[in-house]
Chain A
Amino acid sequence: MDFLNLFVIVPVLTMIGILFTKELKGARLVSAVGMGIQLVLAIFLVFYYLSVRGAGNLHEMILTTDYSWFPSLNIHYFIGVDGIAVAMIALTAIVIFAGVFASWEMEYLSREFFISLILLSTGVFGFFISLDLFTMFLFYELAVIPMYLLIGIWGSGPKEASAMKLTLMLMAGSALLLVGILGIYYHSAPNGGPYTFNILAISKIHIPLAAQRFFFPLTFVGFGILGALFPLHTWSPSGHASAPTAVSMLHAGVLMKLGAYGCFRVAIFLMPQAATQMAWIFIILTSISVVYGAFGAIMQKDLKFINAYSSVSHVGLILFALLMMNKIAMDGAILQMISHGLMTALFFALIGMIYGRTHTRDIREMGGLMKVIPFLGVMYMIAGFASLGLPGFSGFVAEMTIFVGAFKHSDLFHRVASVVVVSSIVITAVYILRVVGKLLLGPVQKEAHLHLKGASWYEKLSTTSLLIAIVGIGVLPLWLSDTILNSLQPIMEKLVAYLH
């Protein structure tokens, strides 16, 4: 089945299509159609996956396709998905679809903008379908580099500096990653035979502990930088704040999850023994991420900075949950990836739309917007509630699952870490409610803000598509959760052997 290839082919065709358009109108139309097709494909993939699993297909990965690329090094273009990848692909498709509509009025160099944006998404889709470390690394770097142009050209504020900082830090991460991948490769044949980059094949063998100890931290930190692991998170606030709306959405919504997904799929899955031994270091770091990010968000006055710090906190929670190394927490981690991806994309979309009207992102200069722009106001409030983890939204399901998983550990270290991390819920409530109160309620602060334009159709489409997904997961969490739990089985079997 070559069906999965479409997830790379469609964006590439879309980019080529944009080349033939003249200006904004054509470019956005082609992008919308292309990403619309992509969304339909993703939804189809979800249902296909469910039906296949329902029919009793218990293969670890489905829809696998394998082409030999560099036979002498045993490098393959090997793709396939399990439930987790399917969920991530669906997330990406929704966010990029919403992102195209959020950039509907991108006048400046519009063709180049949409091409870069879709190139970025190509990298992300490719990353999630890859089962070969080489292919995966290629797509990973492909996703990072358009960011420079997207932020540098279309960003705001100190965009050149933020773009450079972000790119260099992420590329430094991928540098560590490259060493990690090569290390895994050269230890993938302990009993002789050709080395391999194939993730499934490597997961079946045992990499020597000494090698794991050396390469696990490199790989974990390499991916962790993209997941804003403290203290390497500093690219994230400035980068997100300077990026144009759609890029912030895609970056906080999906790209940071790439880091977490990589930590899970490569670092922990392939080197479980070192992972269990070294988890404590990273548990400390992620706990700091969670609390520090939340406190950071309280102190900020710029809407985008608030959300960027909140992302540091939430993605920290994902990494924290992964390091808890049990099925429930990991399930929660994956749920949180999707939930936070949708939520933060919604936030950034709304911030972009509000900024486009008020021309300020400083919360002290705004107020009472609920009366002026009710649609966006209500949306913002809902996004806030989802972020707080209110029942009925995806955030509740995800965080609840994570904490239940975390408290399964009864030793002192894990208990303390869990308690510290749980306290972030309260801090989150503080900054969310504060922003909602300042921004939406109370009197209107500025004369000019009394007559803002209401939401247009494309803004409604963009935000609603995200909201539907958030509520969908919140109300019907079980099918998603079950899909993930099934796919967690192989990794749990590996981990259990080393946990005690």
Chain B
Amino acid sequence: MMDFKYILLMRHELLLVLVAVIILIFDFLTDREKKNRLIPFSIYLFAGAMLVSFFPVKPGVLFGGSFQGNALTDFFKDILNLALLIVFMQSEGYLRKEENREKIAEYFVLLILTLVGMDYMVSSGDFLTFYVGLETASIPLAGLVAYDKFKSRSAEGGVKLILLSALSSGVLLFGLSLVYGATGSIYFSDIAKHITASPLIILGFIFFLSGMGFKISLVPFHLWTADVYEGAPMSITAYLSVVSKGAAVFILTIILYKVFKNITGLWETALYALAILTMTVGNLFAIRQNNIKRFLAFSSIAQAGFILVGIMGTGSLGMTSIVYFILIYVFTNLGAFGVASAIFNASGVETISGYNGLYKTNPRLSLIMMLSLFSLAGIPPVAGFFGKFFMFTSAGSKGYFILILIGVLNATISLYYYLMVVKAMFINKNDHPVPYFRSPNFLRFSLLLCSIALVFIGFAGGIFEYIMSVSHVLF
């Protein structure tokens, strides 16, 4: 039953490919006028695939260690699936627009294929699988960013993403080749044994980290982020800032902990500096934004800085706090983006000043936005508080108290700009606020899901404990 094991371990990836193929066939069979049917069909199909992949399977290794499946990677892939499902649900209103009718299937298929790439990346056990997964995830994204055919900004974003992504991949690959040259292997477990603080490996590591810095948009590798986020359709921006970034952070953490274990002191120094830069610059730039997408773009840069603080911790606590943070971040950021895209689709407003007086006309959306923003800022009782607290706890386990201090002060700065949005919605007066509207049902459901998760995740201590128990696998 050798083959069956392959299918089971790679069930996430294979199911996604299956879903993509079915959507393509369905698209082929659907009349041009009825293409809108693809939307619910794809969402239900994807949700079904997601439920099937929930079933637990015994951990295992495939292809001589290139592909690793264990409870932690499974859990993380489930998070990514869930995030993509929410993104799909939030794109309904956008896809129903006349101009998008002919390319609905592409939207779903491309997004699913990027997720396949990320899943392989998450499960990778060697640098080759890792790299192939990373590229599979990046290239369709450029197409998605440029999805708005009639907007020059969208095309500009697409070009920027593909060029910079190619450049960063080059840098990353160069770093990996140096590491390969020094250690003679591409397998994580083999490399880990031969890592020393030799100049070649350090150089390789720096290139590797810079490449990953582009993908996660760490300062100073963040310059593409705001333009791409602004140009892309709202739900693609959401996807970039949550799923794409989350997956890259996850695999970066694994590689740092497993592969570069012997030079921990070195990468901790590098991350220390990057974390401070990323938090501070992200925050300071976010203050000045008025476009909600650019605003969330810089806020997500700052959040990446907080994640780096968490990586500094010891093994399983660091891993757990990061996975936990990303889980919460999915609901938090998608909640904020969901509200933003609901408003954009209904009224075309995408500036923060346009949100003035929103509570008067759309109280529920304003409340969900406020919950999400408070969660981003780390205010209890919303889930973001727990995520951030454990992030800092993780850094504390190695005694980085100065870094924590800088981190929490940055969190206070971030509260300022999150409160500015709250102020716009609840306090500022507006003679012509965005009129009341009713969002499509899928979107409403996704927002309900996000807000319930935001309120309850923190109080369910079991979730954190579960992640803790599965991340012990690694160490």
Residues of A near any B CB (own CB < 8 A) = 68-73, 75, 134, 138-139, 141-142, 145, 148-149, 152-153, 159-160, 164, 167-168, 171-172, 175-176, 178-179, 182-183, 185-186, 214, 218
Contacts and interface: CB of A to CB of B under 8 A. Distances in A.
Interface of B: 317, 320, 374, 379-381, 385, 389-390, 392-393, 396-397, 399, 401, 404-405, 408-409, 411-412, 415-416, 419, 422-423, 426-427, 461, 464-465, 468
A72 B317 CA distance: 9
Given A141-B380, A160-B427, A175-B411, A182 B419 contact: no
Contacts of A164: 416, 419, 423
B392 A178 contact: yes
A171 B401 CA distance: 18
Contacts of B465: 70-72
A465 to B, nearest CB: 29
Contacts of A168: 412, 415-416
A186 B461 contact: no
A153 B320 CA distance: 39
A138 B409 contact: no
Contacts, number: 81
Given A70-B465, A149-B426, A179 B399 contact: no
A445 to B, nearest CB: 33
B427 A142 contact: no
Given A138-B385, A153-B426, A167-B415, A186 B464 contact: no
Contact of A185 (B317, B396, B468): B396
16 contacts: A71-B461, A72-B464, A72-B465, A138-B381, A149-B426, A152-B426, A152-B427, A153-B427, A160-B423, A164-B416, A167-B415, A168-B416, A175-B405, A175-B409, A182-B396, A186-B399
B137 to A, nearest CB: 32
Contact of A141 (B385, B404, B427): B385
B422 A142 contact: no
A262 to B, nearest CB: 16
A138 B380 CA distance: 6
A75 B408 CA distance: 20
Given A178-B389, A182-B392, A182-B404, A172 B381 contact: no
Given A70-B465, A172-B412, A141 B379 contact: yes
Contact of A167 (B381, B404, B405, B419): B419
A214 B405 CA distance: 12
Given A171-B412, A179-B404, A73 B393 contact: yes
Contacts of A68: 461
A168 B465 CA distance: 33
Given A141-B385, A164-B416, 17 more contacts: A70-B461, A72-B464, A73-B393, A138-B385, A145-B379, A153-B427, A159-B427, A167-B419, A168-B416, A171-B415, A178-B389, A179-B401, A182-B392, A182-B396, A182-B404, A183-B396, A218-B405
A145 B374 contact: yes
Contacts of B464: 70, 72
- Chain B binding surface SS class: helix
A172 B405 CA distance: 10
Contacts of B426: 149, 152-153
A182 B393 contact: yes
B27 to A, nearest CB: 44
Contacts of B427: 152-153, 159-160
A172 B409 contact: yes
Given A70-B461, A72-B465, A182-B401, A152 B423 contact: yes
B411 A148 contact: no
B145 to A, nearest CB: 35
Contacts of B419: 148, 164, 167
Contacts of A172: 409, 412
Contacts of A176: 405, 408
Contacts of B399: 186
A492 B366 CA distance: 50
Nearest to B399: A186
Nearest to A195: B397
Nearest to B459: A69
Contacts of A183: 396, 401
A159 B427 CA distance: 10
A373 B411 CA distance: 48
A167 B404 CA distance: 20
Nearest to B415: A171
Contacts of B404: 178-179, 182
Q: Which of A72, A168, A183, A185 has the most CB of B within 10 A?
A: A72
Nearest to B469: A72
Contacts of B390: 73
Contacts of B415: 167-168, 171
A215 to B, nearest CB: 8
Contacts of A69: 461
Contacts of A134: 389
Q: Which of B385, B392, B393 has the most CB of A within 10 A?
A: B393
Nearest to A164: B419
B316 to A, nearest CB: 9
Contacts of B381: 138, 142
Contacts of A138: 380-381, 385
The 7 closest A-B pairs by CB, nearest first: A175-B408, A182-B396, A72-B468, A69-B461, A138-B380, A152-B427, A70-B461
Contacts of A139: 380
A179 B405 CA distance: 6
Contact of B396 (A72, A75, A148, A186): A186
Contacts of A148: 419, 422
Contacts of B409: 172, 175
A150 B87 CA distance: 34
A172 B412 CA distance: 6
Q: Which of A70, A134, A185 has the most CB of B within 10 A?
A: A70
A126 B396 CA distance: 26
Nearest to B367: A112
A179 B403 CA distance: 10
A384 to B, nearest CB: 34
B445 to A, nearest CB: 21
A178 B465 CA distance: 22
B115 to A, nearest CB: 30
Q: Which of A141, A153, A178, A214 has the most CB of B within 10 A?
A: A178
Contacts of A70: 461, 464-465
Given A73-B393, A152-B426, A175 B412 contact: yes
A142 B458 CA distance: 14
A70 B461 CA distance: 5
A346 B412 CA distance: 33
Nearest to A140: B380
B418 to A, nearest CB: 10
Contacts of B423: 152, 160, 164
B407 to A, nearest CB: 9
A139 B379 CA distance: 10
Contacts of A153: 426-427
Nearest to A186: B396
A153 B427 CA distance: 5
A175 B413 CA distance: 11
A142 B411 CA distance: 16
A218 to B, nearest CB: 8
Contacts of B412: 168, 171-172, 175
A139 B426 CA distance: 24
A127 B340 CA distance: 35
